[in-house]
Structures are given as structure tokens and as C-alpha cells.
A and B are shown apart, each in its own frame.
Chain A
Amino acid sequence: MSIKTSDLSLNDRLKKELADTTMRKAIANGQDALNTKRNAAFAELGNYEEWRENAAAVRHHVLENLDFYLNQFAENASANGAHVIFTRTDKEATDAALEIVKAKGVKKAVKSKSMVTEEVGLNEALEEAGIEVIETDLGEYILQTDDNDKPSHIVVPALHRDREYIREVFARKKGYTGDSVPENITRFVRGLIRKEFLEADVGITGCNFAVADTGTVTLVTNEGNGRFVTTAPKTQIVFMGMERIVPSFTELDMIFSMLVRSAVGGKLTSYLSFITGPRGEEDRDGPEDLYIIIVDNGRSKVLESGFREVLRCIRCGTCMLECPAYRHISGHGYGTLYPGPLGLALVPVLGGYENYSDVTKICSLCSACNDVCPVKIPLYELIYEHRRIIAEDEELVHAPEPFVMGAYGKVIASSGIYDFGSNMARFAKFLPKVGPLKEWTRERDLPEITGKRFRHWFKDHKKKGGKS
């Protein structure tokens, strides 16, 4: 997979997702439940704004000094015995992994949940090389079992599915005969995945944050499977987005506090894994070899652009949970691996405007995301700026929009033409319902325009000395 997850056009994606009432109900319930938990978790913590300011400052500082911290991390991780590999593109990243697994004769890989591995298309690359890849995160396992369905959310990848649907998938694909109680389905899946852990030659994980001054990589999970991936197989490969770094455990503590509360509304997750080098002589588990693949894949470009602030992102997904547009179309409506407000801000610059300008339309500019981002990314402003760049580039914006907007601009810039035009507005009801009118009237009535104008009333009002 790359950051593109659908070949359908924007309108076709919206049509498809809006017709999926089961998905829409699942997403709405998920949003409501997780947002309630998030708000309660932050209310209990107190000083929300101050926490956000501090977390934003830490992430800002890291981005301003990213070269320093990456270097420090790489030195410390190497000193701990890990192999650190810097890669510029998705291909370089997957090639680096392929080289390792080929050298080790790997046949089976178990994975914990990782967005960056999806971004670079790791599973496809490994499978092409004949390696079996098993997703062990329950959500990802559901999607993999369901003919490689795409994640609809970056933290809760199967948020778009309800328990009945999931039961049916496992019944059809894996012979599950039980009911739709989540605990029972989970127990069934656990039995299947345990076997895979014992057979796998390599464990592949993402990295929530790397700690520069200790050379540690960390994993934040709610299922023990993430940790199992780092302890059972002999080889571990960590994929890390190059901006996912903090100076020390002091900052990590704060970032985790924000991440977990924002993502799932908890104080801590069930598992926090800190991996500092491969298994030592005294250690009873852990990999014999630890590889850390640091992925750029467009991040340097983002860093140098006017959109650097989006790299502060700690991938909590709370902007999606808050977004009223995401609510109705899920991540799938965006057709991009990173959906929601984060996706709108990140994807056009990460993947290029030529491929991803349409996605910036999926926003009513309500700015709700700005108020909940734990690292205060100005998402509204970044989306607004993307739209300017796109509209002012003739290659990117398609007819008739520039023409319509240009004509409209001329009308409203001149009080004379505006006055004539708005007097004519009362005849709008006689217009054929095509284009924008059709879009409006499918779900709504048009307002009745009587021809009565405020400005005419006001003139009269003043004539009568304010007595009307």
C-alpha cells in the first residue's frame, strides 16, 4: 500500500461510503464513545491548554533540531547493539527490510500495528518475496482476514466495522462458529495468532517514539501482541518515521500522557514497551538482532515546506474522532492512508498536490480539530493554505471552478453588478436544478427569495426617520 488507498474519484468514494449505513453507525458510535472518554481523561488531568502548549513546544523543538536528535538517537541505538538504517524513499525502506529477511532466510513475519509500514507498502513487498506476513493487532488482523481491507482510522483501523460484521468475516474465512461477543471473537483469534508467533522468524513493529538520549524505541499498545512481536522472534525490524523522536524520557512521559488520552481516553495503555538494543546476555527474551529502519519518504520535503507543523503529529487520531465530515465517510472516503484533518494537512505535501489536491475539499472549515489536537497543529490554517496553493495553480484546479469563482469575484467586487445580480436572485427558483443547485436541493429546500431587499428597506427606513 502507499498513501493512496482507493482508485475511485472523490465523488464516487463519497457516494460509496455515504451509502454504507452500518459503517456510518459504527463510526458515529466510535467517535461518540472515544470522544467522551478523551474529554473525561483530560478533565481529570486538568490544565488541558497548558499540557497542549508544552507538548506542542516539545514537538516543535524536535523538528527544529531534527538532524541533531536523529544523529544522537542513531549513535545511541548503535551503541546499544541495534543496526540503524536511514532510508529516503518507500522503496529504499522496503528494500532494506527485504535484504534483512532474505539474509536470514525468513519465511514468516509477525507484525504489530504500524502506519509507516503501510505507507511504504511493506506487506506487499514481503509477500511478493514469498514471505508470509501476519498482522497481530486485532484490528489489523480483522482487515487482513477481510481480503486486505484498508484501515479507516490510524489508531482504530477497523473502526468502521461492527461486531456482527467481524463475526461473519471470521466465520467465513477462519471457520469461527461462535457468537459476536467481542471477548469470544478475541479468544478465537488469540488461538490462531499464538501459533504464528511461535513459527515466525521475524517480528516487525512500528515505533511510537524513539528516545534520542538513550537510543530506545517505544511501542504503545493495548494488546499484548505488540510486545510478543518484540520478544518471540529472533529478529526484530523496527520501522520509524523520521520525525517520531523525543529528546529524553522526560519529554516521552509528557507526550505519552497526551497520546494515550487523545487516542483512547485512557491514562496509560496496557502495554508500554521500551526496546533498548537487542537481547543482552542476561536477558531471557528479546530479539538476537535488532534493526531500526528510519523512513523519510517525503518527510524532509514537509519539513522544508510551509507545512512543517504537521510533522508535530503524534498519530493519536483524535482529529478524526472530532471531525464531522470523517464521521460520515470514515477514513475510506478520503482514499488516503492518513485521513481526516491530519490527512488533509499532511497528504498533499507528502504525496504531492498533483495526486492529492481533491482531498482538501473534505472539510467544512469548522475548526473543531484545532481545539483537540494535543500538539496544537493548526490544522484549519494548514488546510486553508493548501486550498490557496491549489486554487492559484492552474494545473491543479479544474474548470469550471476558476471561471465561476472569477465571475463571482467580479460580481461581488462591484456594488452595481452585485445590486443587479441580487435583485435577480428571486428568480433562482425558476432555474433548472443542475450543478450547485442540484447539490443543494437533494437534501435541502432552497430559501424563498422574495425580492425584498434589506438595502431598500433601510433607505425607506431612513427616509421615514427611523420609524419603520
Chain B
Amino acid sequence: MSHNVSFFATCLADTVFPDIGIQSVRLLEQLGCTVSFNPKQTCCGQPLANSGFHKKARATMKNLTTALLEDNSKYVVAPSGSCVLQVKEYPKFFKGDPVWKKKAEELAAKIWEITDFIVTVLGVTDVGARLPGKAVYHPSCHLSRLLGIKEQPLALLGNIKDLELVPIKGQDKCCGFGGAFAVKLGPLSGAMVIEKVDNIKAAGVDYLIGADGGCLMNMKGRIDKEKLNIKVLHVVEALMAGKEEGTK
């Protein structure tokens, strides 16, 4: 069964972490999807919206809505809970605009976070990956609390051969990223990520795995600053590990 998927890379994966986008596409294709990518897409507008600048965010929301609907795919899939949440919230930003509200609702109804899509739509929990070592999984706040996607990434990670998931203290606590929060209140955000990385460190793991580029960039920034030997992976990178075909 082939699914047509329009891929929303997210601006972070497009520019800073291209491997997240690349491995997402490879993974979806391995699972039988036909993936398209509309280059008109940019950012979901979250940094503006979370800072309160809703009016200024609407132009980019319209741009993304147009780009993601243009392919006419049955599904839109993105490797970020936070960006998917933002897109799912679009209809609220167009309350007084019936034309755009309708488009936003159409998009909100068909956008999926990638682990949720693989488990819920494709019905797959074992993608045949192998990654020897110990890992901490970070359940990002928007993904786990606001979208309620808690079990899906764990189901997929749980089936990776030779990978042991290790619990940490304060596992479900915010890593301190929060988008613009991390630069507006840098010292506070810094205190939060230091505590998070201290807890990861204490677990003695080889990998930190998460499903949101923003949170991973934040924690990786701290891990690199401390020069720790912990590799930071997006869940799609972990799910593509140890495969003969399609690895980089």
C-alpha cells in the first residue's frame, strides 16, 4: 500500500539539521510512501506566535498552508511535534477569515507528526533498525503533552535492536528551549538545560534521542559545550541506524 505524503521539513531541519529531513524521507520511502516536498515551504511561524506576534505570523502561516496543500497529498508529515502542533492550531489564527480558516482546517486535519504517522497510519512499530548502546529518550513537551504523542516514539525506539532506553530523573520536564524563550531569557533557559543535561549525564548513556529539532539543538548545545561523549539523534536518525540500504 502506497501513501502519498507531502513532507514538511520544518525550517530547522531544512537549514540546521538537514539529516533529520533526509532520514525522514528515506524512512518514509522505505515504508512504502511516495514523498513530495514543496520548496515554497518555509517556517510554521511558531517563534512569532509564541512571542505574541499573531498578526505578523499570519503571512508565513498562509504561505505554509498554500505550500503544503498544493501537492494534494492525503497526508502531510513533519519530523517535529512542536511545528505540527503549531499547524494544528492555525484555524484559531484565522477566526475572522472564513477562506483561510477553511484551508487551515483542511491542513490541520491531515498533518501528522512522523512517529505518530508511522505507528498510527502505517501500523508499523518495527522498522528494522539496529543501534547498539544506551539511550535517553526526551519526550518533548509539545509532542507529548499538547499533542499527546507519548507511546508512538517509544514503540518505535523499543524495537530498535541492541538499543537500551534508560530512564532519567525529571524525564518529562522541559529542557529549557521554548523557542524564543531560550534567547529572551537566556540565563534561565540555560539553568534549565544544564539541569536536564546533568540528569542525562548521570544515566551514563551513548545517545540522546528526541523527536523535536529545537529541543535537540538546545540539549546538544549544552552537551557540546561540556564536551560530553553523548551523540544526539533525532528519532528518525535512530530509526535509520544500522540499515544496509539508505544510510548515509
B residues near A (Cβ < 8 Å) are 7, 9, 11, 13-18, 20-22, 25, 29, 37, 39-43, 45, 47-48, 50-57, 59-60, 62-63, 67, 141-142, 145-146, 172-174, 176-179, 181-195, 217-218, 220-222, 224-225
Contacts and interface: CB of A to CB of B under 8 A. Distances in A.
Contact of A442 (B13, B40, B190): B190
Pairs A-B, 6 closest by C-beta atoms: A439-B186, A364-B178, A444-B221, A391-B52, A443-B190, A387-B52
B3 to A, nearest CB: 15
A444 B15 contact: no
Interface stretch (A63-71, A82-90, A400-408): A400-408
A384 B187 contact: no
Contacts of B41: 415
A408 B222 contact: no
A367 B141 contact: yes
5 contacts: A406-B56, A409-B53, A422-B11, A439-B182, A444-B218
B9 A405 contact: no
Nearest to A406: B56
Given A391-B53, A439-B184, A447 B217 contact: yes
A405 B145 contact: no
Contact of A415 (B9, B40, B218, B222): B40
B25 A425 contact: no
B174 A454 contact: no
A413 B59 contact: yes
A422 B15 contact: yes
Contacts of B39: 415, 419, 455, 459
A190 interface: no
A419 B40 CA distance: 9
Given A368-B145, A415-B42, A444 B225 contact: yes
Interface string A355-395: 00000011111111011000000001000101111111000
Given A328-B188, A391-B53, A443-B225, A371 B145 contact: yes
Interface string A444-468: 1111011011110111010000100
Is chain A's interface secondary structure helix, strand, loop, or mixed overall?
Answer: helix
B52 A392 contact: yes
Contacts of B225: 443-445
Interface residues of A, number: 69
A148 interface: no
A325 to B, nearest CB: 6
A436 interface: yes
Contact of A439 (B15, B17, B142, B183): B183
Nearest to A466: B29
A188 interface: no
A397 B176 CA distance: 23
Given A436-B183, A438-B186, 4 more contacts: A324-B174, A405-B47, A405-B51, A410-B59
Nearest to B41: A415
Contacts of A425: 15-16
Contacts of A397: 52
Contact of A365 (B20, B50, B62, B188): B50
B221 A412 contact: no
Contacts of A362: 185, 188
A366 B16 CA distance: 23
Contacts of B29: 466
Contacts of A364: 141, 174, 176-178, 181-182, 189, 192
A418 B40 CA distance: 10
A442 B187 contact: yes
Contact of A440 (B7, B146, B194, B221): B221
A412 B181 CA distance: 19
Nearest to A428: B16
A412 B60 contact: yes
A457 B141 CA distance: 30
A14 interface: yes
A387 B51 contact: yes
B218 A366 contact: no
Nearest to A417: B42
Contact of B54 (A324, A363, A388, A414): A388
A238 interface: no
B92 to A, nearest CB: 10
Contacts of B50: 365, 384, 387
Nearest to B220: A447
A371 B146 CA distance: 10
Interface centre among A386, A391, A452 (most CB of B within 10 A): A391
A367 B183 CA distance: 19
B22 A454 contact: yes
A452 to B, nearest CB: 5
A329 interface: yes
A272 B56 CA distance: 52
B190 A444 contact: yes
A412 B145 contact: no
A329 to B, nearest CB: 6
B226 to A, nearest CB: 9
A268 interface: no
Nearest to B18: A454
A110 to B, nearest CB: 38
Contacts of A461: 22, 25
Contacts of A387: 50-52
Contacts of B221: 440, 443-447
Given A425-B15, A436-B183, A452-B18, A368 B59 contact: no
Nearest to A421: B15
B48 A408 contact: yes
B243 to A, nearest CB: 15
Contact of B191 (A328, A410, A446, A454): A328
B18 A18 contact: no
Contacts of A442: 186-187, 190
B51 A401 contact: yes
Contacts of B184: 361, 439
